[in-house]
Amino acid sequence: MTDQRTATIERVTKETRIRAAVNLDGSGTYDVSTGIGFLDHMLEQLSRHSLIDLSLEAEGDLHIDFHHTTEDSGYVVGEAVRQALGARTGITRYGAARIPMDETLSEVALDISGRPYLVWAVKMPQAKLGDMDSELFKEWFQAFAQSAGITLHVRNIYGENTHHIVESCYKALARALRQAITIDTRAADSVPSTKGSLGGAISGA
């Protein structure tokens, strides 16, 4: 695979201004600033454990709440991943991971299918993590799956600590994504689909 799998995306609305750059064949380096400390921490985990280099800078209407910045960062990171994948030639396509974190166990299974879909089987014991509403993490995963064109199943198997539950979901996403975007050396020149194409558009193939 000689083509560099990178992309830079900028999204500007009345609610947010976000710029992100990814390198799918990186080493997990990151530079993330959303104005939301815990979200920064999760995106750093995503980068580190997927080995996707991620640079993201966001300015949002945090004086209202964290919703728009959280959701739109998911859209931008997902779109960057989708564009960096290009025609998806040679990718493994599927990935799955189970991640323990102390008392918590979470799992992610995904298909880089071009057909965006989220199954979210995660319950949060606490309504907030610091100043952040726990329900916003579903919004991030939904936005990411939609713009990346990924079928994404996220399940917390058990756990008591909301921080651990959320973090284990992001780490499981990272490890599953790392598998799925890896080039399969036995089929490096072909698209892993009997259709002959994968996800040229978000509506899928």
pLDDT tens-digit series, residues 121-173: 999 999 999 889 999 999 999 999 999 999 999 999 999 999 999 999 999 99
Q: Residue 193: its pLDDT value, please? A: 54
pLDDT tens-digit series, residues 49-79: 999 999 999 999 999 999 999 999 999 999 9
Would you say 5 and 84 are in contact if contact means Cβ atoms under 8 Å apart? Answer: yes
Which pairs from 47-50 meet CB under 8 Å and 24+ separation? 47/174, 48/174, 49/171, 49/174, 49/175, 49/178, 50/173, 50/174, 50/175, 50/177, 50/178, 50/181
What's the token pair of residue 202?
A: 């978000």
Domains and CATH numbers, the chain: 6-187 (3.30.230.40)
pLDDT tens-digit series, residues 86-98: 989 889 999 999 9
